[in-house]
Structure 1
Amino acid sequence: MTNAPAVDTRPIVAITMGDASGIGPEIIMKALARPDVYAICRPLVVGDARRLREADALTKTGLTVAALQEPAGATYEIGTVDCIDLGLIPAGHPFGQLSTISGEGAYRYIERATRLVEAGEADAICTAPLSKEALHAAGHKYPGHTELLAHLTGTPEVSMMLVAPKLRVIHVTTHIGLMDAIRKIEPGLVERVIARGHATLVKAGIAEPRIGVCGINPHAGENGLFGQGEEEEKIIPAVQACQAKGWSVTGPLPADTLFFRAARGDFDLVVAMYHDQGHGPVKVMGLEAGVNITIGLPVIRTSVDHGTAFDIAGKGIADEGSLIEALRQAVDLAPKRSK
């Protein structure tokens, strides 16, 4: 009687190349030169094999790039980068410059990765950075990855969670102006965002997450002294609804002290009301190791928490730390394959 071959339980993570004119190709090659990445997952790049080879020359990683049409041909062995090759980027395409070619590529990589996960050929998506301006120039009018993935998966509402050392933040609103954000915030939306964050942390192994909710105004309105009653109208009913479920939800609290308390360990998650309220503290705490997670999609998606860095693209000096952390988060959140 022969033993059946061992099943590889490492999740397959589809890594999208992002904007080919930015640092995405370089940080991918640097990350995939590390054996510890292969110890936790099977990385499958969705992008352009020729561009990755150019990035290899820049970073001097000495890796082989295997150009594939389908995942079945991947070997997932250290030393070889398996790439679903869409062949969209011409040879010698300039780094560090806004390009509609790169914008179109960024869209197509995400589209293909999404279909791979939906077909069961990958378990999660990890995205290198794209340029919103290039994406728009190519005719894809989405504010960023989060909204694009929501469209591709037919998901009506998602949330952005940022993770940095000692801090997790989920956002009620993201890529809209401040006045529009305040108008958009309402109790039902706040409650749904808290619920998505709570469910994500429970899935990640935190049985009873402690959640702190930011106010909108300075000092969370200070009992009506600041603002026009936004905390009472828009936030408190949602907090009370979540508390009625038995969850540990506190707020609204002044954002300046809440982030300090969360970094100290008093809370497992902060609920930010708008983009800069949440992004600023996270990027101060750990830009290089920050991770962006889209919550509420039918597919797992994590991302670096930095941009395309056109100013250093093509120099081979970009830091891959955030991408490695994003891969770790994707592995933690991905459905577990049977042994």
Structure 2
Amino acid sequence: MPVGAPLVASFGDPAGIGPELLLKAWIARHDEGLAPFAVVGSLSHMERLAAAPGAAPHGAHVEMRAIGTLDEAADVFGDALPVIDLGPLDQPLGRPTREGARMALAALDHAASLAVSGKASAIVTAPIAKAELQAVGFDHPGQTEFVAAACGVKAEDAVMMLAGPSLRVVPMTVHTALSAVPALLTQDLIAGRIRIAARALQRDFGIAHPRIAVAGLNPHAGEQGRMGDEEIRVIAPALEILRTEGLAVVGPLAGDTMFHAEARERYDLAVCMYHDQALIPLKALDFDRGVNVTLGLPVIRTSPDHGTAFPLAGTGRASANPTIAAIRMAAECAQRRAA
């Protein structure tokens, strides 16, 4: 799938499964029809990982080649995994270290700069360990906010969407206590994030007139105020503003009836009020194919929807499906945006 400039992938925490899954994705490049991508990280660590038992499925040989610039990736990709080498690393698998965290941060920073400069058509970020990164100076809640800052975009304008073959969801609030959610929900937050999501669905996903279903916060969407009034005070007025702007939004809907097969046919995106309301149905339907997509940025950024999984590192048991899905989605979005 030609997308112009190659994709770039930061290899995540080297003690985790991210580098291994990028190796597996490259091995599957022909079968999966993946666009060319280069990995930013430690070539020595990747080579040692490729030689470990179980890292390469069915004993597949992984050829790697250091490249000086991303322009070389497309020519190399068919025969070898292109790696932008940031230096040697002696990192045990499954046991995160400060040295590994520094390498993960350097890889993320370099990959983001390639995307922001336009040298990469998109960035795919492998999983990191936030606690380890914070110990070496990482001062963002996560990679989403880091990439947003690299783009000069305010963190609140970087919207997280989880997307799989069966469902796309956007949570209004993410990593926050459930007790704090009602106070965080405002008309401006809901309307602003839905606008960003609608524009992204048009530009990056090719949906000319996106249909958006919005969940309520409370059981039965508040049942006309008997189980909470956030739907009446906050959510419904925000949706009315969006309708006057021409957006096809419905809701607030009862969260327990939004995700069965017939209901999903009626919308392109489900907007939810808190983390689990969005991620439970997404992971139930598309557990190993879910992709984290950051909307509202001038660059395309995707990530597999899982963590570092330190206990699985080097065992060969981690599935590359989410990483392959993230690479494919990044390429598809880049192609649509370029067109």
TM-score of the pair, normalised by structure 2: 0.91
User: Which of these residues, 138, 141, 160, is aligned with residue 140 of structure 1?
Assistant: 138
SS state at 1:27 partner: helix
Corresponding residue pairs, total = 329
Corresponding residue for 2:328?
A: 328
- Residues 1:167 and 1:262: Cα distance change in structure 2 (over 3 Å): farther
- Residues 1:243 and 1:338: Cα distance change in structure 2 (over 3 Å): closer
Corresponding residue for 1:250?
A: 250
1:70 is the counterpart of 2:69: yes
Give the alignment of 1:58-137 within 5 angstroms. 58=52, 59-60=55-56, 61-74=60-73, 75-87=75-87, 89-90=89-90, 93-137=91-135
- Residues 1:275 and 1:39: Cα distance change in structure 2 (over 3 Å): same
Corresponding residue for 1:48?
A: 42
Query: What is the CA-CA distance between 1:50 and the residue it aligns to?
Result: 1.1
Query: What is the CA-CA distance between 1:11 and the residue it aligns to?
Result: 4.3
Query: What is the CA-CA distance between 1:148 and the residue it aligns to?
Result: 1.6
Query: What is the CA-CA distance between 1:40 and the residue it aligns to?
Result: 4.3
The CA distance in 1 between the partners of 2:123 and 2:310, in whole Å, is 23
Corresponding residue for 1:216?
A: 217
The CA distance in 2 between the partners of 1:330 and 1:290, in whole Å, is 13
Amino acid at match of 1:326: A
SS state at 1:31 partner: helix
Structure 2, unaligned stretches of length 5 or more? Answer: none
Asked if 1 retains the 8 angstrom alpha-carbon contact of 2:258 and 2:264, the reply is no
SS state at 2:195 partner: helix
Deviates more, 1:41-50 or 1:263-272: 263-272
Amino acid at match of 2:9: I
Deviates more, 1:55-64 or 1:163-172: 55-64
Percent identity between the aligned chains? 37
SS state at 2:194 partner: helix
The CA distance in 2 between the partners of 1:159 and 1:280, in whole Å, is 18
1:291 is the counterpart of 2:291: yes
What's the C-alpha RMSD, in Å, of the aligned pairs?
A: 2.0
Asked if 1 retains the 8 angstrom alpha-carbon contact of 2:98 and 2:135, the reply is yes
User: Which of these residues, 16, 25, 28, is aligned with residue 10 of structure 2?
Assistant: 16
Amino acid at match of 2:325: E
Asked if 2 retains the 8 angstrom alpha-carbon contact of 1:171 and 1:275, the reply is yes
Query: What is the CA-CA distance between 1:130 and the residue it aligns to?
Result: 1.0
- Residues 1:123 and 1:166: Cα distance change in structure 2 (over 3 Å): same
Asked if 2 retains the 8 angstrom alpha-carbon contact of 1:239 and 1:249, the reply is yes
Asked if 1 retains the 8 angstrom alpha-carbon contact of 2:3 and 2:335, the reply is no
Amino acid at match of 1:302: T
The CA distance in 2 between the partners of 1:38 and 1:223, in whole Å, is 49
- List per-residue Cα deviations over 1:112-140 (Å, max 9, x = no partner): 11111222211100111111222222221
Asked if 1 retains the 8 angstrom alpha-carbon contact of 2:66 and 2:83, the reply is yes
- List per-residue Cα deviations over 1:183-219 (Å, max 9, x = no partner): 1210111011111111122122212211100111111
SS state at 1:249 partner: strand
Asked if 2 retains the 8 angstrom alpha-carbon contact of 1:161 and 1:170, the reply is yes
The CA distance in 2 between the partners of 1:219 and 1:13, in whole Å, is 43
- List per-residue Cα deviations over 1:74-128 (Å, max 9, x = no partner): 33332301111112622xx111123222222222211111111222211100111
The CA distance in 1 between the partners of 2:252 and 2:87, in whole Å, is 50
Amino acid at match of 1:207: A
SS state at 1:22 partner: coil
Deviates more, 1:97-106 or 1:16-25: 97-106
The CA distance in 2 between the partners of 1:17 and 1:178, in whole Å, is 32
Corresponding residue for 2:317?
A: 317
Deviates more, 1:79-88 or 1:15-24: 79-88
- List per-residue Cα deviations over 1:12-38 (Å, max 9, x = no partner): 110110110000111000100123378
Amino acid at match of 1:126: V
The CA distance in 1 between the partners of 2:266 and 2:211, in whole Å, is 8
Corresponding residue for 1:5?
A: none
Higher helix share: 2
The CA distance in 1 between the partners of 2:278 and 2:97, in whole Å, is 30
TM-score of the pair, normalised by structure 1: 0.91
The CA distance in 2 between the partners of 1:196 and 1:337, in whole Å, is 15
Q: Which 4+ stretches in 1 moved above 4 angstroms?
A: 8-11, 37-40, 335-339
SS state at 2:310 partner: coil
The CA distance in 1 between the partners of 2:96 and 2:243, in whole Å, is 47
Deviates more, 1:178-187 or 1:204-213: 178-187
Asked if 2 retains the 8 angstrom alpha-carbon contact of 1:171 and 1:193, the reply is no
